[in-house]
Amino acid sequence: MPDIPTVTLASGQSVPALGLGTWNMGDDSRKANAEIESLKRGLDLGMTLIDTAEMYAEGGAEKITGEAIAGRRGEVFLVSKVYPWNASRQGVIDACERSLGRLKTDRLDLYLLHWRGEHPLAETVAGLEELQRAGKIGAWGVSNFDVADMEELMTVPDGKNCVANQVLYNLSRRGIEYDLLPWCQERGIAVMAYSPIEQGRLLRNDKLIQISKAYQATPAQVALAFLLEREGVIAIPKSANPDRVAENAAAAELDISDEDWAAIDTAFPPPREKRPLAMI
Ligand code: NDP
């Protein structure tokens, strides 16, 4: 089994730095078996963090996740997200209950505000804190928050209890390295890197293909290894193919040389100035 590194959240839990995404799962019953098998394979290989959301297939991905974790809930660090329009103080509580029902569990380990909407942050945070006090969630965080959003969050009551910010981050989207990533690292707020292989688009990059060949690896593995090098970063690749999940897990075993990291920096230059947070 690959030795997957861990990230310790501000709430004290240690979670794998390589987890499992679920976007697009649950939208076609013919694919359900492969999706469930893929998630189970990931759990078997130590990718025991699953990222889902009420948005994905309008609850369908949470149902698939519920099937995959049945009988092994204790092994899993379960993350879901609330739609911004459900993120009023009471709305967030009701949405969480619906997610728990679909996931067939009594507790989320981490609950995220999917992106900023019109409800005041103070209200959303009050609802999240209430869920945490009631034992319905272990911790809470946000998603698609840029530095200014995070700074605002820090000013609302209990806003500093945020443990994670889930954002678009991969080799071709390095903008957060300029400001948001160090901002989060300094405060012990985990960065969850979504679309870590740019939804597959990165895999056609010639430089990445060339470097991966030198390690008998795949471009996906090198792209994931890049994220695993970063302190406090959790990558959540999605695959509905058990063999590709195993391939992704094995990224944890890659040991890329400094020379090749430098070549990767040349092919995918880090930012030299502020870029607004990109989203998918
Ligand atoms: P990813 O970068 O994880 O790419 C997923 C795509 O890559 C799928 O088409 C998958 O196909 C393919 N793939 C996965 N592994 C391999 C591999 N080893 N070789 C070749 N192809 C591969 O994109 P996502 O957008 O899904 O991001 C990951 C997760 O992040 C999401 O599933 C979701 O949980 C989360 N997310 C959160 C967002 C937010 O706003 N908070 C926004 C976007 C994503 P296949 O399944 O057929 O293997």
142 lines ligand 1 (CB under 6 A): no
Inside any domain, residue 10: yes
Inside any domain, residue 276: no
Tell me the C-alpha distance between 179 and 186, whole Å. 11
Inside any domain, residue 275: no
pLDDT in tens, 62-98: 999 999 999 999 999 999 999 999 999 999 999 999 9
Where does the pLDDT of residue 32 fall: very low under 50, low under 70, confident under 90, or very high at 90 and above?
very high
Q: CB under 8 Å, gap of 24 or more: what pairs does 35-38 form? A: 35/64, 35/68, 35/240, 36/64, 36/67, 36/68, 37/242, 38/239, 38/240, 38/241, 38/242, 38/244, 38/245
Inside any domain, residue 22: yes
Q: Which residues 6+ apart lie within 8 Å of 148 measured at CB? A: none
Probe target for ligand 1 pocket from 115, 197, 198, 201, with the most ligand atoms within 8 Å of CB: 197
Q: 28 phi and psi, to 5 degrees?
A: -150, 110
Task: Kindly tell me if the per-residue pLDDT of 252 is higher than 90.
Answer: yes
143 lines ligand 1 (CB under 6 A): yes
pLDDT in tens, 111-153: 999 999 999 999 999 999 999 999 999 999 999 999 999 999 9
According to the model, what pLDDT value does residue 1 have? 83
Ligand 1, residue 248: give the atom nearest the CA: 18
CA torsion sign for 238, 240, 243, 246 is positive
For residue 235, list its beta bridge partners.
Answer: 18, 193
pLDDT in tens, 10-26: 999 999 999 999 999 99
Inside any domain, residue 272: no
Tell me the C-alpha distance between 35 and 20, whole Å. 11
What residue owns the CA closest to ligand 1's atom 3?
237
Inside any domain, residue 145: yes
Total domain count, the chain: 1
Where does the pLDDT of residue 58 fall: very low under 50, low under 70, confident under 90, or very high at 90 and above?
very high
Distance 202 CA to ligand 1 centre (A): 11
3-state helix, strand, coil in the chain (%, to 5): 50, 15, 35
Q: Which amino acid does the sequence have at 7?
A: V
Token pair recorded at residue 171: 């080799």
Domain boundaries, position 34: 6-267
Inside any domain, residue 187: yes
CATH of the domain at 51: 3.20.20.100
According to the model, what pLDDT value does residue 117 have? 96
Inside any domain, residue 163: yes
According to the model, what pLDDT value does residue 217 have? 98
